[in-house]
Structure 1
């Protein structure tokens, strides 16, 4: 399988509000790449470690997907009953069996490298791949266009970590991207941790 490097957002102070942007909730979790190549499933961290033995529910869910070859970008999260991610529960390692994969991008499918496609088409492919909704893996919902600032205020009011806004017309690029902008809720505990996750 080809090597895939993570696209990383730049930090912003205001949410972009143009029609070319998509906006996603920023979950408080660990960034991972979910790779399936036949029967082999790997969960790769930003540091290059394979955490597939750590999160069995994600691996089991990935094996239930009909397509046997794909690479997804997302986050490992523990969700509370309110749907808000709990980083303390994730970090404690006491809930590894409850950890789910929140998928927000697809980099490859069925032997095709999709990174050169615009984000809007990659999102369509991701939703189609996960249409059967295997428990343990879910698609991160997003909003289109000029709702960004209102969505950010709502996320802050709900106690969420913030938003990541992405240009819908851009390919997936390795390294830090100015077309992915992360704006954090300044009152969220993640502000004290920096950019660990």
Structure 2
């Protein structure tokens, strides 16, 4: 008599997390991947179907319904896949600030970039080297869908990091190719960010016909350059209303030749910019507030 199939119920595994460092590691024992700007996600398939979990173990399957439907077509009885849920902008780059609205309003635009495989067909793979886990994962993910494999970037850590930053990517995650999967923070995985965010004073604005609007920033009295304003219409108008109330200041020392509206003190912006530069580069305004 044939034995009934065993119903396997898999549990969420606390993620392995890279340490933030200033420089990518050197040596051929490391693999380097794009650091996507999204939500860490764990996908489980077992006898109860497909479930999507956040980094902290909350079940977000309902929020990721189109991705969950696609995950169901992956040819395996059971699996635990790790990845990053993202939405992309016009340039094809992951856009964290658009992600929340995409989840609620257009989940069909979401992508899952899969980078690790912890379990497959009743086998726990966490004691297998990362390189081998990823080779199996690559074969598992069908091409052309919204669930995609996170390809390794060719080259040394320094070269990969430089090219990633020049391309406007969030950063790089470097992982030891022989690393086993262990929950929690680890130096066997390291992340290096290309961009940072900081609050600075908005001291002026540039609004020229046919050109993107820009705010001019200063940090502790030092002029830092401009940041693009990419807000939607309502938030952009709110910014211009604040600007109007502070317009009329004289040009700061050394900036008289700049064609700009100069502002009185008190308007602060949170700006995202490429790190390691003396002035703002690839900068965009993310938020603003009045001081006080």
TM-score normalised per structure 1: 0.90
SS in 1 for 2:131: helix
Partner of 1:162: 171
Runs of 5+ consecutive residues of structure 1 not aligned to the other structure: none
Aligned residue runs from structure 1 range 37-52, under 5 A: 37-38=46-47, 40-52=49-61
1:134-186 CA distances to partner (integer Å, 9 max, x unpaired)? Answer: 61200011135x52111111111111110000000110110001100000013
Structure with bigger gyration radius:
2
State the number of aligned residues.
Answer: 191
Secondary structure of the structure 1 residue equivalent to 2:72: helix
- Against the structure 1 CA distance between its residues 175 and 97, is the aligned structure 2 distance closer, same or farther, given a 3 Å change threshold? same
CA distance in 1, matches of 2:58, 2:93: 26
CA drift of 1:89 comes to 1.6
Write the distance in 2 (CA, Å) between the matches of 1:157 and 1:5: 33
Work out whether 1:143 is the aligned partner of 2:153: yes
Q: Tell me the distance in 1 between the aligned counterparts of 2:122 and 2:77.
A: 10
Q: What residue is the counterpart of 1:113 in the other structure? A: 124
Whole-Å Cα distance in 2 between the matches of residues 3 and 61 of structure 1? Answer: 20
CA deviation after TM superposition for structure 1 residue 46, in Å: 1.6
The equivalent of 1:101 in structure 2 is 112
Contact 1:9–1:176 under 8 Å retained in 2: yes
User: Once the two structures are superposed, what CA deviation does each residue of 1:30-59 show, in whole Å capped at 9, x if it has no partner?
Assistant: 001011114511111122211111012210
Q: Structure 2 vs 1, CA of residues 56 and 74 (structure 1 numbering), >3 Å: closer, same or farther?
A: same
Partner of 2:91: 82
Structure 2: gaps of 5 or more residues: 1-9, 198-271, 276-284, 287-292
Task: Kindly indicate whether the alpha-carbon contact (under 8 Å) linking 1:104 and 1:139 is maintained by their aligned counterparts in 2.
Answer: yes
For 2:149 and 2:189, how far apart are their aligned partners in 1?
18
Kept after mapping to 1: 8 A contact 2:14/2:184? yes
Q: Does 1:127 align with 2:138?
A: yes
TM-score (norm 2): 0.61
Instruction: Indicate conservation of the 8 Å contact 2:12/2:57, yes or no.
Output: no
- CA change 1:178–1:134 in 2 (3 A) is same
Moved >6 Å (runs of 4+): 190-193
Q: 1 or 2, which has the higher helix percentage?
A: 1
| Counterpart residue number, 2:73 | 64
**Secondary structure in structure 2 of the residue aligned to 1:5:** coil
Bigger RCO of structures 1 and 2 (CA < 8 A, at least 6 apart): 1
